[in-house]
Amino acid sequence: MDNFQIETAQNIGIQQKIAGIGDRVLAFLIDLFILVVYGIISTISMSSLLGDRGETYMIYMVIGLPVFLYFLLWETFYNGQTPGKSIMKIRVVQLDGSRPRFSQYLIRWLLRTIDISLGSGSIAVVSILMSGKGQRLGDMAAKTTVISEKKDITIADTLITDISEDYKPRYPQVTILKDKDIQDIKAMFRKAQFNGNHHIIVTLSQKIADLLEVTPEEKPIDFVEKIIKDYNYFTQK
């Protein structure tokens, strides 16, 4: 699936990776397997308690309630994940990347019947493919989506950063840093960008400036990016 751009409250642009349909289907199948196993074990263990019709009805109500509320409760109390979503490393988030409110989880859950149960999931698949942001109908109504937290290894995640031939460095002081230092800086910076954590970026910028004894000429986010590029410029020469 594609990425989509979100803007945080701090006006930082973040690329979120939309969870693929395959991952979402596998997550659902894992959850379905858990529910089936739970149902079998519960039915067997409760069979000895079955009595008259009224008692039987109440027992099945008790067994069925966790199944009925499974997705709502897990996503609400497990920060947008069910066991299946956790295994597949996908998560429900708001369109700005933040944690959804209970009302949003509730809307998604209420519309599961239309999205998934009707048409054997075809409605959900079509809406996910057509929405552009990986949203089924429940997500559209709740203003949420499902993102993938799987880490793709790209050049941006390594020590080496691609820079243009006419690049002009500004902070030669970066040469006092070691490879491990810049790796740690880069990892923290990318994670803060992904999570929209502007405070961490500001703190990181201040610590780098103090360490190098320089006065940044850019905004914190641009300064950290410049430091990473300057380091690569001087170490690749």
167: its two tokens: 């690049």
Reading the block at residue 138, the tokens are: 């429940």
**pLDDT tens profile 142-176:** 999 999 988 655 544 555 566 777 888 999 999 99
The confidence score (pLDDT) of residue 178 equals 87
**3-state class (DSSP) for residue 110:** helix
* Distance, C-alpha 118 to centroid of its chain: 27
Residue 232 has pLDDT above 60, yes or no: yes
Q: Output the pLDDT for position 149.
A: 84
With cut-offs at 50, 70 and 90, classify the pLDDT of residue 78.
Answer: very high
Separation CA 187–CA 159 (nearest Å): 10
Q: Residue 119 pLDDT more than 60?
A: yes
Task: Note every long-range contact of 168-171, with CB atoms under 8 Å and residues 24 or more positions apart, other chains counting.
Answer: 169/229, 169/230, 169/233, 169/234, 170/217, 170/226, 170/230, 171/212, 171/214, 171/226, 171/227, 171/230
Cα(25)–Cα(31) distance, integer angstroms: 10
Task: Specify whether the CB–CB gap between 145 and 93 falls below 8 A.
Answer: yes
pLDDT tens, 129-145? 888 888 999 999 999 99
Cβ proximity of 172 and 234 under 8 Å: yes
- CA 235 to CA 182: how far, in whole Å? 11
Longest pairwise C-alpha distance within the chain: 84
Confidence category of residue 80, pLDDT binned at 50, 70, 90: very high
Pick 192 or 20 by higher pLDDT.
Answer: 20
User: Helices (H), strands (E): how many in the chain?
Assistant: 10, 4
32-58 pLDDT per residue, tens: 999 999 999 988 887 776 666 667 778
Q: In whole angstroms, what is the distance from residue 77 CA to residue 217 CA? A: 43
Residues 6+ apart with CB under 8 A from 218: 226
With beta carbons less than 8 A apart as the criterion, state whether 80 and 102 touch.
no
Under 8 Å between Cβ of 100 and 142: yes
